[in-house]
Amino acid sequence: MNKSVSSVWFSLLLTLVLQNCRFIISSSSAYLVGLGSYDITGPAADVNMMGYANSDQIAAGVHFRLQARTFIVAEPGGNRVVFVNLDACMASQLVTIKVLERLKSRYGDLYGEQNVAISGIHTHSGPGGYLQYVVYIVTSLGFVPQSFDVIVDGIEQSIIQAHENLHPGTIFVNTGELLDAGINRSPSAYLNNPAEERSEYRYNVDTNMTLLKFVDDDWGPVGSFNWFATHGTSMGRTNSLISGDNKGAAARFMEDWAKQKSIAEQIDSTYPRRRISEHELRQLASSFEASGGSQSTKSFSIRNSFRQGNTSQPKFVSAFCQTNCGDVSPNVLGAFCIDTGLPCDFNQSTCNGKNELCYGRGPGYPDEFESTRIIGEKQFNKAVDLFSAATEEVKGKVDYRHTYIDMSSITLSNGGPEVVRTCPAAMGFAFAAGTTDGPGAFDFKQGDNKGNAFWKLVSSFLKTPGQEQVNCHKPKPILIDTGEMTQPYAWAPSILPIQIIRIGQIVILCVPGEFTTMAGRRLRDAVKTVLIKAGHGEFDDNVHVVIAGLTNSYSQYVTTFEEYQIQRYEGASTLYGPHTLSAYIQEFSELASALATGQNIPAGPQPPDLLNKQISLLPPVVIDSTPNGVNFGDVSTDVPQNSTFKHGKWFQPHSGLLAQGMIS
């Protein structure tokens, strides 16, 4: 065949390739990217909800279903990381253990505790009973297998989806400020932080959202994960409908938004085309089978350009993850007394000395469904803005470090000659006071650093703390000495996981608790300083350090030393004493140094697997029937006659909520 004829055939082949491919991206992408999503809704009736510790808050229906959402990022032939975001109150050590066992059985050593992170969004409207320590399952009447099993199954399935969707792709990062989606619910404690430190920040909550945009080389944008601090308490402590609260709603909004946009529109508006070289086109052309002849020699796998056996667009997955939300409430109108309508006491959040009368108000007050929608929509709108404008490409290594630490006995110098330590877990009197998002009962008050004789007598029936424990936790008066209570099994964790995940210039700090605003700032700043110093130029000021809260396990709150002195709810719920934050900073700094220098780090002591010790006291369903005169499946409330609705809209007559994808 002469040269001119060969050129004609090649030109025709290029024309066919370009006509059949909307866009072509280089197959030599730095990352493989996969996303997945699976249902974890759980039992929708008769099960206590996790979050408010209100024994009367029993599930009795579904507001919208809950999901486990996963991304996997891998270097071709190198390291990979898995991040799972749960529409659940928090991660569970027992859930993590069982998920890792399943992954070990399915994938061998590909996925393990080192490179898998499982985080919760902190909704307070999901079924409880899936954690392994006694104090977290008291109100659910012990362990609830139905809650536990569906979460483990859903996480595994979402990871399987993400693994099977792995494909060359690109990641972008963007950050921006979101106001009016959270306020500080313990401002008196925040004000106890040094004035010089507070002056470095404009607000007493973190207003920054960090978003990762995942772009598949074939399909274009396929998902996004973001981190922003606000509590999952738009739905109140008496709500009985399963709900992902504001973050779950935001995720649904964004996934519906992506579904409504055509893939071509997404590509044209948010992802620039790249010029394709003749060499790359020849490689692509060589992957096609010749009609009536033998297959051409392949210089690379066809999977690098087209999904084998998959001609449909992958499902868009969007997760709204939790970060240092410890003192951040979505009830942005403030806290008011329900008897007088006046603002609650500033220091103790009481009304005439009663904490039960002080409630935070969301932006849709008195409609908590509307508040959920508004706060979710604010996060959704900001995420769309960041997603659409994301241009900073994520580049660099995929890496991770993980270890277990015994938080009950960590020693540290605390910056001076004095050696201090953490303590076995204990909860203070102000823990029982609750917060303005969900007040407690009886005569407990936030800010109580003394306790009272009656409740000390009551708590002594459980366990009287020794003097060393009392001194260690000062000024916290101990209400429940959970760390030293072991019957019928451990009441609180002592062995906790800490983990760092790196994807290029993105560094995710996986923490097993709720850091307050200033505590999170201090941890991020400390880790960033270590990375820049130890990395010898590999990291610079552009490194994005984010905290993934409530990850892999759960151990309640982490305040600064100064906030701890005030003993608001968050300080009373800081389990391991006033130096808890300093211990985390010390241990994460060691992880960060090992990450930056390429050094290994010891695995640490292993946490217990308490599945075989769990006690379940929740009675089974004896009978499930309809009232007289109706049957299962009958219409409860019909839509108005002669009404019209657009595709993708849902009608909810009782709450007045008309939103995309809010009911399923």
| Annotated binding-site residue numbers for Zn(2+) | 122, 231, 514, 557
CB of 68 closer than 8 Å to CB of 85 = yes
3-state secondary structure labels for all residues of 482-542: HHHCCCCCCCCCCEEEEEEEEECCEEEEECCCEECHHHHHHHHHHHHHHHHHHCCCCCCCC
The structure tokens 């972008």 sit at 172
Paired sense of beta strands 167-177 and 358-361, if any: unpaired
- Report the distance separating Cα 488 and Cα 616, nearest Å: 12
Q: Which residues pair with 546 in a beta bridge?
A: 508
- Report the distance separating Cα 461 and Cα 480, nearest Å: 10
Amino acid residing at 172: F
Left, alpha or beta for 552 (phi > 0: left; psi -120 to 50: alpha)? left
CB of 354 closer than 8 Å to CB of 258 = no
**CB < 8 Å & 24+ apart, contacts of 640-643:** none
Amino acid residing at 17: V
- Binding-site residue numbers are 122, 231, 514, 557
H-state helical runs in 344-407: 368-389
Catalytic residue among 29, 119, 243, 329: 329
Amino acid residing at 397: K
Q: In whole angstroms, how far apart are CA 180 and each of 240, 317, 376?
A: 26, 25, 12
- Report the distance separating Cα 271 and Cα 289, nearest Å: 30
- Report the distance separating Cα 388 and Cα 571, nearest Å: 39
Q: Where are the beta strands (DSSP E) in 322-397?
A: 328-329, 334-337, 358-361, 392-393
Residue 428: both structure tokens together: 């203070």
3-state secondary structure labels for all residues of 244-285: CHHHHHHHHHHHHHHHHCCHHHHHHHHCCCCCCCHHHHHHHH
Crossing angle for the helix pair 245-260 and 368-389, nearest 10 degrees? 50
Residue 283: both structure tokens together: 């490689």
- Report the distance separating Cα 489 and Cα 76, nearest Å: 44
- Report the distance separating Cα 565 and Cα 567, nearest Å: 6
- Tell me whether residue 125 is one of the annotated catalytic residues: no
Q: DSSP code of 62?
A: B
Catalytic sites, residue numbers: 329
